[in-house]
Amino acid sequence: MDRYCVNTRAQANGDHEVHKEGCTFMPLPQNQHYLGAHSNCYGAVMAARLYYPTANGCAFCSYACHTS
């Protein structure tokens, strides 16, 4: 299973991006909220939405969960 985090800082469009560990576009460590290990990005995004309702998958490492 892969490990995921969500960016605590929203993007310009208000989304908080969910990243798989090792993604080129990982947020700075101080802007990461660890979400745990998940079998896919869908579970990670659902976990992130408990904290950030606008959570969305990263277009590069979690493309299947990227909606905007």
Question: Quick one: 26 exposed, middle or buried, by C-beta within 10 A (0-12, 13-18, 19+)?
Answer: middle
The amino acid at residue 24 is: T
65 near 41, Cβ under 8 Å?
Answer: yes
Measure CA 15 to chain center: 10
Q: Is the pLDDT of residue 68 over 90?
A: no
> pTM (2 decimals)?
0.94
Q: What is the pLDDT of residues 7-62, one digit of tens each?
A: 999 999 999 999 999 999 999 999 999 999 999 999 999 999 999 999 999 999 99
Q: Where are the domains of the chain?
A: 2-65
- What order of strands is seen across the sheet that includes strand 55-57? 32-38, 2-7, 16-20, 55-57
